[in-house]
Amino acid sequence: MSADQPKATVDWNGPVLIERDYWIGNDQIAITVRLGFPRQAERSDEWACSFQLFGWGDSQVKVARGSDGLQALTIATEAIRQRLDDAGNVTSSSDVPYEFVFPRYVPFAHGLEYHRKLCGLLDEAVEKTEQEFEARRRKRR
């Protein structure tokens, strides 16, 4: 599955699932991030999801492709997240940071066992933090 196959335009012409404004980099360049709805691609065995970071780079509408709509959406979201991470110093136009809007996903490129190991490590870290918060709450009571 893939991301970043450019369309021939910088003009967005489809429905938008998410559109957010950010300022990126040390110069705080204004950009608009758009994420489209997943749709059945021209080829019947794959799905596509358009995305765009308008105002930065080539601003072209890109397309993430996957075996189903959720996979195409996930790939597009991860591509957006990676670009924002790479830009650094990202400021949001809202109180919601981009990391919450475009969450990082747990990679699976190295196989199922590695993916499960990473998920287990994350679950352990979350559980440990929740236990620490609960211990502090009990102390205050």
pLDDT tens column, 49-102:
999 999 988 899 999 999 999 999 999 999 999 999 999 899 998 889 999 999
- pLDDT of residue 38 exceeding 90: yes
Q: List phi, psi (to 5°) of 81.
A: -55, -45
pLDDT in tens, 107-136: 888 999 999 999 999 999 999 999 999 999
Query: How far is it between the farthest Cα atoms of the chain?
Result: 61
Q: Which of 74, 54, 72, 53 is nearest to 63 (CA)?
A: 72
Using CA atoms, how far residue 31 sits from 25, 37, 45, 100, in Å, is: 11, 20, 33, 18
Give the pLDDT of residue 12. 87
Domain ranges (residues) in the chain: 2-105, 106-141
Quote the pLDDT of residue 107.
Answer: 82
H or E element in which residue 101 lies: helix 98-101
CA 127 distance to own-chain centroid: 24
Q: Is 1 a residue whose pLDDT tops 70?
A: no
